[in-house]
Amino acid sequence: MTDIVELKKVNKVFGTNHVVSDLDLSVKEGEFLTLLGSSGCGKTTTLRMVAGFEEPTSGSIMVEGEAVGNKEPFERNVNTVFQSYALFPHMTIYDNIAYSLKMKKVKKSDIAQRVGEMLEMVQLQGYENRYPTQLSGGQKQRVAIARALINRPRVLLLDEPLGALDMKLRKQMQLELKRLQKKLNITFIYVTHDQEEAMTMSDRIGIMHDGILDQLGTPSEIYEHPATRFVATFIGETNIFDGAIHRINNNMASIDIENGLITGQSDGSFEEGDYIAVSVRPEKMKLSKVQVEGFSLEGVVKDFIYIGSVMKCIVALQNGNEIRMERLAGETLPGIGEKVYPYWDAQSAVLVHTKADTVFKTIENAPLAV
Amino acid sequence: MKKSEHEWKSNGLPALVTVGPVAVILVFLVVLPLMYVAVMSFCSIDSYYNVVYKFTLKNYAQLADPDYIHIYLQSILIALLTTVICVLVAYPFAYLIARTKSRNKNLLYMLVIIPFWTNSLIRIYGWRTFLGTNGWLNNALIKLHIISEPLDMLFNRGTTVLGMVYCLIPFMVLPLYSSFEKLDVNLLEASADLGATKLKTLKEIIIPLTADGIFSGGIMIFIPCLGYFFVSDILGGGNADVIGNLIERQFQSGNNWPLGSALSIILIIITLLLVKAYQKIGGSMESLAL
Ligand SMILES: Nc1ncnc2c1ncn2[C@@H]1O[C@H](COP(=O)(O)OP(=O)(O)OP(=O)(O)O)[C@@H](O)[C@H]1O
Ligand SMILES: [Mg+2]
């Protein structure tokens, strides 16, 4: 598989606001790549630079192996689905979908045939003569997708395309989009800040944070092996411990945290004295009635919450922070108020590098678990 | 507008108290004068210029006089030219104001509004001083040795149209500005994204979506043009009369109020027909209220 879109050291500065920093991103042909990140982290700006609505301050963007820096949006073989749909309000659904073919001066009969195919694909036959205001949100979304796809672009950019839909329609459209993408074999670059959406739809996810691409990987890589503290906290629920490595022995790292000692497995990129964050997923957490070797955390069971087949357990630590864990319902568990010793298998903990000030800041504000 | 309607209803005053004063004002300032003009248009004058209150269609028959028809056509030509020039000038300007961010926006906006606040008669006289044979422009051109004899720029249709454009252009800028403000930038980006050049986007998206501004501006310019006699008086010098000049002359020097009234009625009918046509193509009356 070749790279169909490639961003190299792309920067974007608005005034004094550095919105995208040294972004390197390669998108493989035919993949579903999602940019995920919190609001204002530069996802839309990145997409707009690929589409050509915004010019990078520095760096280069290649589409199909060709630098597109000097190309106007209408010269690029990429199309965009806008969050606000951006359907032309004065045109019928037919004319909206046919727009790009008309611009290319395609024969009328060919246009009619291809618009028909598109309407069938998005299941909107019979709506040709309506105007956008006469459609529901989900229907507008489909028109926007049909309009962007009719020109058979190699790359489709989608900026939170489902953001305005309700939960049920959203789930349905997620499946439809995924099906379309597979069927047409078009590369999707998809922006969302809904992590569940990203996890279920994407081949790869890029996590952005303050204009920096923190990590690019498959959903499971990102979930199991977060590369930064931000990624660990952003994807799924987790418990974070900030601290420093006390000793490494046979890749087993014992880590000093605010008022205790924990253990995790090092992948060899850590040294004694390194400041790190340790992330442990709730389902990896275990409880013991007696202290376990390598762990000195001590807490009190505060609450249980049943959610179907799993049970969430909240343990309050001595410093007041809480640990969340998930146990299968039916397991015998200590009662509320009992003293427990949380621990985990060393390989269940994920270690990520942090800066010293992260540790001190978190110790000052909200030490131990997040 | 909507809000005040709501407040009116909610304070529960009887209809007579709320609508009453407005109705009285309307009757005295609009209905009665109009009826007076309508009645007058069917009267005649005797040889001493006294009005004779006896029904006649003479005035209306006189409206078909070839000299008058020439002036109707000339009015329409002047009004059309003025409207077209206003669109061409105001369109890019309104776009600029709408797209400008920051403080410059207010500055540009004020440039349109401020002349509005000064008397248009004075401003039109200003043009006469500027363009006259001994005016600033001629003097400047002679000083610069571009011309040796002063140019005869005043008193023709061209200068009349210039004056009309100058007086009326805010009526085109303001509705266009509000149309451009409503135009979603995403639509322009979507158009470019789908392969449209800038020119195509202008034709397919921008113009259709600002057409309401063009129409409401157009009607607010075309109609006054037919009646703005002072502009053609001062800058046209009798060579560019509009219907307004005919009416003014009958009421003043001609002292023939019945004929003037008949002309006024015709002007009112033309106005109503134009507004009707405007509504027919989907124009809203609210956007005519600046
Ligand atoms: N045209 C612009 N001029 C100035 N600043 C801008 C412009 N566009 C975006 N920004 C700023 O750039 C930053 C990133 O914006 P961007 O729209 O890319 O965020 P995002 O990741 O898409 O966020 P969201 O999830 O809220 O859509 C924001 O701080 C925003 O204020
Ligand atoms: Mg965005």
What is the interface size between A and B, counted as CB pairs within 8 Å? 58
Of A10-14, A206-210, B8-12, B130-134, give the lowest mean pLDDT range: B8-12
- Which residue from B184, B196, B209 is facing A103, i.e. has the nearest CB? B196
Distance from CA of A63 to the nearest CA of B (A): 15
Give, using CA atoms, the residue closest to atom 1 of ligand 1: A14
The DSSP output letter for A205 is E
State phi, psi for A205 to the nearest 5 degrees: -125, 135
Write out chain B's pLDDT in tens, 290 residues: 444 445 445 555 677 777 878 888 888 898 999 999 999 999 999 888 888 899 999 999 999 999 999 999 999 999 999 999 999 999 999 999 998 887 888 888 888 888 878 888 888 888 888 988 888 888 888 888 888 888 888 888 999 999 999 999 999 999 999 999 999 999 999 999 999 999 999 999 999 999 999 999 999 999 999 999 999 999 988 888 999 999 999 999 888 999 999 999 999 999 999 999 988 887 777 777 65
For the cut 70, the answer to whether the pLDDT of residue A50 exceeds it is yes
Q: Using the 8-state DSSP alphabet, how is residue A335 labeled?
A: P
**H helices of A191-256, where?**
195-201, 219-224, 229-234
Which domain does A339 fall in, by range? 237-353
- Strands A286-288 and A260-265, sheet pairing: unpaired
| A348 within domain boundaries | yes
Q: In the predicted model, is pLDDT for residue A370 greater than 50?
A: no
Separation in Å, CA of B211 to nearest CA in chain A: 11
DSSP A266-305: --SS--TT-EEEEEE-GGG-EEESSPPTT----EEEEEEE
Q: Are residues A7 and A40 in the same domain?
A: yes
- The answer on A246 and A196 residing in a single domain is no
What is the C-alpha to C-alpha distance for residues B87 and A171, in angstroms, rounded to an integer? 49
User: Is A14 part of a structural domain of the chain?
Assistant: yes
CA of A73 to the centre of ligand 1 (A): 19
Cβ contact A261:A254 at 8 Å:
yes
Q: What is the pLDDT of residue A361?
A: 59
The rounded distance, in Å, linking the Cα atoms of B233 and B155 is 9
Q: Are B263 and B243 in contact (CB under 8 A)?
A: yes
Here the CATH number for the domain that contains residue A320 is 2.40.50.140
Q: Which residues of B touch A99 (CB under 8 A)?
A: 191, 194, 196, 204
- Asked if residue A283 is part of any domain, the answer here is yes
Closest chain B C-alpha to A139 CA, distance in angstroms: 18
Residue A33 forms part of a structural domain: yes
Interface of B with A in 90-149 (CB under 8 A): none
A254 and A307 share one domain: yes
Closest ligand to residue A208's CA: 1
> Given A229, A251, A270, which residue is the final one in a domain?
A229
Do A204 and A79 sit in the same domain of this protein? yes
What CATH number does residue A108 fall under?
3.40.50.300
Report the domain count for chain A: 2
Q: Measured in angstroms, how far is the CA atom of residue A87 from the centroid of ligand 2? A: 18
ipTM: 0.80
Between CA A219 and CA A248, with CA A282 as vertex, the angle to 5 degrees is 85
Q: Is position A104 within any domain?
A: yes
Give the pLDDT score at A368: 47
Q: How many helices (H) and strands (E) does chain A have?
A: 9, 20
B273 in reach of chain A (CB within 8 A): no
In CATH, B63-289 is 1.10.3720.10? yes
pLDDT digits (tens, 9 = 90+) for B83-129: 999 999 999 999 999 988 878 888 888 888 888 788 888 888 888 88
Task: Say if the Cβ atoms of A100 and B189 lie within 8 Å.
Answer: no
| A141 located within any domain | yes
- Please state the pTM of the whole predicted model: 0.80
Answer yes or no: is pLDDT of A364 > 80.
no
**A150, A146, A196: which is closest to A34 by C-alpha?**
A196
Asked if B190 lies within 8 A of A104 by C-beta distance, the reply is no
Contact present, A207 and A36 (Cβ < 8 Å):
yes
Å between A140 CA and nearest CA of chain B: 14
Same domain, residue pair A188 and A256: no
Residues A69 and A196 grouped into a single domain = yes
**Using CA atoms, how far apart are residues B165 and B171, in angstroms rounded to an integer?**
10
| Partner-chain residue, chosen from A84, A90, A151, that has the shortest CB–CB distance to B186 | A84
Which of B184, B187, B195 has its CB closest to that of A103?
B195
Would A365 be classed as within a structural domain? no
Residue A362: inside a domain, yes or no?
Answer: no
Selecting from A73, A90, A148 the residue whose C-beta is nearest the C-beta of B192 gives A73
Phi, psi of B124 (to 5 degrees): -70, -40
CA of A157 to the centre of ligand 1 (A): 17
State the best of A88, A101, A131 to mutate against chain B, taking most chain B CBs within 10 Å. A88
Question: Considering only CA atoms, which of A22, A26, A7, A9 is closest in space to residue A204?
Answer: A26
